[in-house]
Amino acid sequence: MAPTTPQEPGLSAVPSYEEEQSQARFDALIDQDSRVEPRDWMPEKYRKTLSRQISQHAHSEIIGMQPEANWITRAPSLKRKSILMAKVQDEAGHGLYLYSAAETLGTTRDEYNEQLLSGKAKYSSIFNYPARTWADMGAIGWLVDGAAIANQVPLCRASYGPYGRAMVRVCKEESFHQRQGFEILLSLSRGTEAQKKMAQDAINRFYEPALMMFGPPDEQSPNSQQSMAWKIKRFSNDELRQRFVGMIAEQVKVLGLTLPDPELHFDEEKKQWIHKDLNWDEFMAVIKGNGPVNAQRMERRREAHREGAWVREAAAAYAAKQAQSEVA
Amino acid sequence: MKHEELDEALDSFGDALASATRVTPGNALRPEDIAVDGVKPSEEVAQYALTLGDDALILAQRMSHWISRAPELEEDVALGNIALDVLGHARSFLTYAGLAWDKTEDDLAYWREEEEFTSLWIVEQPNGHFGVTIIRQLIVSIFQNLLYKQLTESKDETLAAISAKAVKEADYHRDHAIQWTIRLGQGTEESAAKMRHALEILWPYVDEMFRDEEVHQNLEGIAVLPSTLRSAWEEEITAVLDAAGLEIPSTGQAMAYGRRGEHSEHLGYLLAEMQVLARKHPGASW
């Protein structure tokens, strides 16, 4: 962080010469499409925005393990079980390196974790829907990971270095997950009537929440503009949603299944995909904590933290003893 | 659908997917390869491979439950890794055993009844708290490490090949269990007490691991007689417990005969959960 001199309250409204210089350097980095690194000066709002965004992303990975972990012990073949375990484990890994990226902004992982457990921090609201059937493992992979990729591929070029680099790794694995999800649905769609029905039902339930993962429509998303100016975000919510819905509209044909959206079509004149109106009231309700399994997800995370307290304490005590004996 | 068509469909995901490659641990010697290249084992070898596969399968099922529930994220990854490795071993041994009876790994995992499973009681014991899982891991991974090491010299080439891969992974599992045993044994009063408790509830299932059964007979040079592993195992685990400030408990030994299909009360629930979906859709492929 750049050195700051103590100031009279109120004086901060007028930037000092040093601050103006720092701001100019930061603006130049952004203009040149260069990367901002942890030791560079950055505006407080940029830091806060990133800190919130990266930690929310990390929290989403961690909470997002739950719906899929729910099916590991019941996976219908050993190969599927193995693939699903690897996937959920990848998510823990993503959480770890996203927390590392977020820590470079000056907040510790413990603090971020506290924000999650206290309910102060949010995570992707899609994970507040239950994974009811095995086909949900397919729909989550194809639609939820697919939407995540559409969101995240541009983030690989985010102006903040540690975030962009973390996203490169995350995206590679996510795209692998999406293929696996699609493959699950493909197997089901070529299977028995019951399997086909299961696949269609999962798509029906996840389609709309997946589209809402891109966030509110552009005109209702005030923070997006600033994020785009800072080159954290490269495309607007609606642009990304467009791109995604066009992609899945094609892919669903391969499955021989349908998207639950009779209005979905490509408008040749506007050169864009038109989808049905999404239920933003439900979206807001889920964000506020009223989704089907918000309470369950939070309790599970708190429980793991609570039950693991003695283990972490013991590990810390042991490490302290070791450090002491090395000094002695 | 043909492979080409599927590839084409998957290609429509775009460039983001092109770079996606990942080899999951446990896949280096794939069960599919064993199924294709493997020589059909004799009935005796198949029965023996089945015991190895069952131990690994039941343990993997237990371990996999930890993912998303571990004391810290690093352990979600580590325990997940272990579960994944062990499941890989199970798949290889079961695939190999199944060749003798024209059965797949899934036929054996999902369509056998409880009394047909030949796993040891130690692996079906519930996870309990983290310390219980660690002690179970300590007991089993030292055992499996010694066992697989010996099996790499088996006259049966497939068993030797599976074990050659498994031993490297079991070595890491052993390390993980040893480090946590020492850390928790020497951590706080509370953690030490929990570890002593874990040892007490799991020790009764130690004898069974080393009992030579009918399934081990007539396989000289192919199978490892479990009784021959006991002294090395005891030496190693005693050293670890010493370092952890823990002791071998003075508990009795359970009359456990998992190899003969006689199980504790825990296995039924584990299998019910594991098999429920597959059994709901007979003949389906996934």
Task: Tell me the per-residue pLDDT of B99-136, one tens digit each, with 9 for 90 and over.
Answer: 999 999 999 999 999 999 999 999 999 999 999 999 99
| pLDDT computed for residue B34 by the predictor | 79
Question: Model ipTM?
Answer: 0.91
Residue range(s) defining the domain that contains residue B235: 42-280
Is B9 within the bounds of a domain?
Answer: no
| pLDDT computed for residue B1 by the predictor | 37
pLDDT at B272 over 60: yes
Query: By the 8 A CB rule, do A99 and A112 touch?
Result: yes
| pLDDT computed for residue B19 by the predictor | 31
Average pLDDT over residues B148-173: 96
CB-based contacts of B91, cutoff 8 Å, min separation 6 = A78, A79, A82, B26, B31, B53, B105
| Mode of pairing for the β-strands spanning A272-274 and A265-267 | antiparallel
pLDDT at B151 over 50: yes
Domain CATH for B183: 1.20.1260.10
Q: CA nearest B233: which of B141, B133, B125? A: B141
Distance CA B25, CA B22 (A): 9
Which chain A positions have a beta carbon within 8 Å of B187's beta carbon? 313-315, 317-318
Is B118 within the bounds of a domain?
Answer: yes
| pLDDT computed for residue A61 by the predictor | 96
Residues within 8 A of B (CB atoms), A 24-63 only: 62
Binary contact (B77, A96; C-beta < 8 A): yes
pLDDT at B14 over 70: no
Provide the percentage of residues in chain A whose pLDDT is more than 90.
Answer: 79
Is B25 within the bounds of a domain?
Answer: no
| pLDDT computed for residue A227 by the predictor | 84
Query: By the 8 A CB rule, do B173 and B85 touch?
Result: yes
| pLDDT computed for residue B2 by the predictor | 41
Burial class (CB in 10 A: 0-12, 13-18, 19+), B261: middle
| DSSP, res B42 | P
pLDDT at B26 over 80: no
Question: Which among A73, A146, A307 has the least Cβ separation from residue B129?
Answer: A307
Question: Measured between CA atoms, how close is B250 to chain A, in angstroms?
Answer: 25
Segments of chain A with pLDDT less than 70: 1-9, 12
Average pLDDT over residues B255-265: 98
Give the E-state strand segments of A224-270 in sequence order. Answer: 265-267
Query: By the 8 A CB rule, do A30 and A230 touch?
Result: yes
Provide the percentage of residues in chain B whose pLDDT is more than 90.
Answer: 86
Q: CA nearest A53: which of A110, A93, A105? A: A105
Question: Measured between CA atoms, how close is B46 to chain A, in angstroms?
Answer: 19
Is B62 within the bounds of a domain?
Answer: yes
Query: By the 8 A CB rule, do A180 and A141 touch?
Result: yes
Question: Measured between CA atoms, how close is B182 to chain A, in angstroms?
Answer: 9
Total domain count for chain B?
Answer: 1
Tell me the pLDDT of chain B averaged across its residues.
Answer: 91
Is B19 within the bounds of a domain?
Answer: no
Is B64 within the bounds of a domain?
Answer: yes
| pLDDT computed for residue B28 by the predictor | 53
Distance CA B156, CA B221 (A): 8
Is B195 within the bounds of a domain?
Answer: yes
- For the stretch A8-45, pLDDT in tens is 667 767 878 888 899 999 999 998 988 999 999 999 99
Q: Quick one: closest CA in B to A89, which residue?
A: B77
| pLDDT computed for residue B38 by the predictor | 66
| pLDDT computed for residue A5 by the predictor | 52
- For the stretch B185-216, pLDDT in tens is 999 999 999 999 999 999 999 999 999 999 99
Which chain B positions have a beta carbon within 8 Å of A79's beta carbon? 31, 91
Separation in Å, CA A262 to CA A198, A259, A265, A275, B103: 20, 8, 8, 8, 45
Binary contact (A92, B68; C-beta < 8 A): yes
> Taking CA A48 as the corner, what is the angle to CA A47 and CA A52, rounded to the nearest 5 degrees?
120
Is B101 within the bounds of a domain?
Answer: yes
Burial class (CB in 10 A: 0-12, 13-18, 19+), A285: middle
Distance CA A202, CA B46 (A): 40
